A and B are shown apart, each in its own frame.
Chain A
Amino acid sequence: CTDDFEEDLIDPRSPVEVPATGLFSNAQRNLVDQMTTPSVNSGIFRLLAQQWASTDYPRESQYDIVTRNIPQNFWNELYTDVLMDLREARTIVTADETFPDPAEKANQIAMIEIMEVYTWSVLVNTFGDIPYNEALNPENVQPTYDDAAEIYADLFTRLDAALNSLNESAGSGDFAAADLIYGGDIESWIMFGNSLKLRMGMTLADVDETTARRVVAEAADNVFTSLADNADFQYTETTPNVNPIWTNLVQSGRNDFVPANTLVDVMNELDDPRRSEYFTLFSNGEYVGGTYGTGNPYSNFSHVNPAITAPDFEAVLLSYDEVEFYLAEAAARGFDVSGTAGEHYTNAIRASMEYWGVPEAEINAYLSQPEVAWTGGGNWRQQIGVQKWIALYNRGFEAWTEYRRLDYPQLEAPAVAEFDVVPVRYPYPAAERTLNTANVPAGDEATNRIFWDVQ
Chain B
Amino acid sequence: QSRAVSGTVTDAATGQPLPGVSVLVPGTSVGTATGVDGTYTVNVPEGSNTLVFRFIGYQNVQRTIDNASTIDVSLPLDNQQLSEVVVTALGIERTRNELPYAASTIDGDAVSQTRQQNFTNQLSGKVSGVQIQQNNNLGGSTNIIIRGNKSISGNNQALFVVDGVPLDNSTNNTSDQATGRGGYDYGNAAADINPDDIESMTVLKGAAATALYGSRAANGVVMITTKKGSKKKGIGVTVNTGASWGFIDKSTYTRYQKNYGEGYEGATYNRNPSALPGFWDIDIDGDGDTEPVVPTTQDASAGAAFNPNLLVYHWDAFDPTSPNYMQARPWVAAENDPTTFFEDAYGTSHSIMIDGTGDKGYFKLGYGRNSNDGILPNSNVTKDYLNFAASYDVIKNVAASASINYAETNGLGRFGTGYSGLNPNQTFRQWWPVNVDIQDLKDAYFRTGENVTWNRISPTNAAPAYSDNPYWTRYQNYNNDNRRRLFGNARIDYNPTDWLSIMGRVSLDTYDEIREERIAVGSQGVSEYARQNGRFSEVNYDLMANLNRDLNEDFNFKATVGTNIRETNVSRVRLQTNGGLVIPGLYALTNSVSPIQTFGLGATEPATEVDTRLRVNGYFASVTLGYKQLAFLDLASRVDQSSSLPPENNTYFYPSVSGSFVFSELFEPTYGFTYGKIRANYAEVGNMAQPLSVYTTYNLITPFGGTSLASVNSVRNNPNLEPERTKSWELGLEMTFLDARAGFDVTYYNANSVDQILRAPVSRASGIDYTWINAGEVVNKGFEVSAFGTPVRTEDFSWTINANWTRNRNRVKDLGPIDNYQIASFQGGVTLNASEGEPFGAIKGPGFVYNNGQRVVGEDGLYLSNNDANTTIGDINPDWIGGVTNTLKYKGISLGFLIDVKQGGDLFSLDQSYGLYTGVPESTSFINDLGNPVRNPVTDDETSGGIILPGVNEDGTPNDIRAAVPLALGTDGNPAEAFIYDASYVKLREVTLGYSLPESIVSKLKVFQGIDVSLYGRNLWIIHKNTPYSDPEEGLAAGTLSLGYQSGAYPTTRNVGFNIRARF
Contact = CB atoms under 8 A, between A and B. Distances in A.
11 contacts: A6-B647, A15-B700, A18-B700, A80-B767, A140-B766, A141-B760, A178-B707, A241-B702, A433-B869, A434-B870, A436-B763
A239 B703 CA distance: 11
Interface stretch (B267-275, B1025-1033, B1054-1062): B267-275
Interface string B598-630: 010001000001111111010000000000000
The 8 closest A-B pairs by CB, nearest first: A22-B710, A84-B767, A141-B762, A430-B869, A14-B697, A131-B765, A239-B579, A8-B643
Contacts of A298: 297, 457-458
B268 to A, nearest CB: 7
A253 B464 contact: yes
Contacts of B771: 138, 141
Interface string B690-733: 01101101111110111111111110100000000000000000
A34 B734 CA distance: 64
B819 A434 contact: yes
A25 B578 contact: no
Contacts of B295: 297
Nearest to A67: B829
A196 B817 CA distance: 38
B695 A10 contact: yes
Nearest to A130: B765
A19 B820 CA distance: 36
A344 to B, nearest CB: 35
Output the residue of A80, A178, A240, A432 with the most chain B CB within 10 A: A240
Interface in B805-839: 817-820, 822, 825, 828-829, 831, 833
Query: What range describes how many residues of B lie at the interface?
Result: 35 or more
B37 interface: no
Interface stretch (B21-29, B547-555, B589-597): B589-597
B692 A11 contact: yes
Given A14-B698, A81-B711, A241-B705, A56 B297 contact: yes
A299 interface: yes
B1025 to A, nearest CB: 28
Contacts of B716: 138
Interface in A1-60: 2, 5-19, 21-23, 25-26, 29, 55-56, 59
A398 B174 CA distance: 38
Given A6-B647, A253-B524, A11 B297 contact: no
A375 interface: no
A297 B465 contact: no
B818 A435 contact: yes
Given A240-B603, A252-B525, A435-B818, A13 B611 contact: yes
Contact of B578 (A69, A239, A295, A436): A239
A141 B763 contact: yes
Given A11-B692, A85-B711, A138 B818 contact: no
Contact of B767 (A12, A130, A136): A136
A135 B298 CA distance: 45
A66 B767 contact: no
A237 to B, nearest CB: 8
B269 A300 contact: yes
B1001 to A, nearest CB: 62
A145 B267 CA distance: 43
Given A12-B611, A15-B710, A80 B457 contact: no
Interface string B742-786: 000000000000000000111111111101000000000000000
Contact of A21 (B609, B708, B761, B763): B708
A299 B457 contact: yes
A211 interface: no
B868 interface: yes
Interface string B643-658: 1101100100000000
Interface string B939-956: 000000000000000000
Interface of B: 264, 267-271, 280, 295, 297-299, 457-458, 461, 463-466, 524-526, 578-579, 593-595, 597, 599, 603, 609-615, 617, 641, 643-644, 646-647, 650, 691-692, 694-695, 697-702, 704-714, 716, 760-769, 771, 817-820, 822, 825, 828-829, 831, 833, 844, 846, 867-870, 971-972
A84 B697 contact: no
A159 to B, nearest CB: 21
Given A13-B610, A255-B465, A437 B819 contact: yes
Nearest to B818: A435
Interface string A245-260: 0000001111100000
A310 to B, nearest CB: 14
Given A2-B641, A298-B457, A431-B761, 9 more contacts: A7-B643, A10-B695, A84-B767, A84-B768, A143-B763, A178-B707, A251-B526, A436-B763, A437-B819
A41 to B, nearest CB: 10
A177 interface: yes
B1009 to A, nearest CB: 52
A141 B154 CA distance: 21
Contacts of A435: 761-763, 818-820, 822
A22 B710 CA distance: 5
A79 interface: yes
A401 B997 CA distance: 84
B829 A8 contact: no
A211 to B, nearest CB: 26
Contacts of B697: 11, 14-16
A429 interface: yes
A429 B709 CA distance: 27
B594 A141 contact: no
A377 B164 CA distance: 90
A180 interface: yes
Contacts of B818: 141, 435
A437 B868 CA distance: 12
Contacts of B650: 5
A431 B822 contact: yes
Interface string A376-417: 000000000000000000000000000000000000000000
A83 B712 CA distance: 10
A433 B868 contact: yes
B594 A238 contact: yes
A164 interface: no
Contact of A85 (B712, B761, B868, B869): B712
B709 A25 contact: yes
Contact of A297 (B297, B644, B714, B825): B297
B695 A29 contact: no
Contacts of B298: 56
A236 interface: yes
A364 interface: no
A142 interface: yes
A79 B297 CA distance: 38
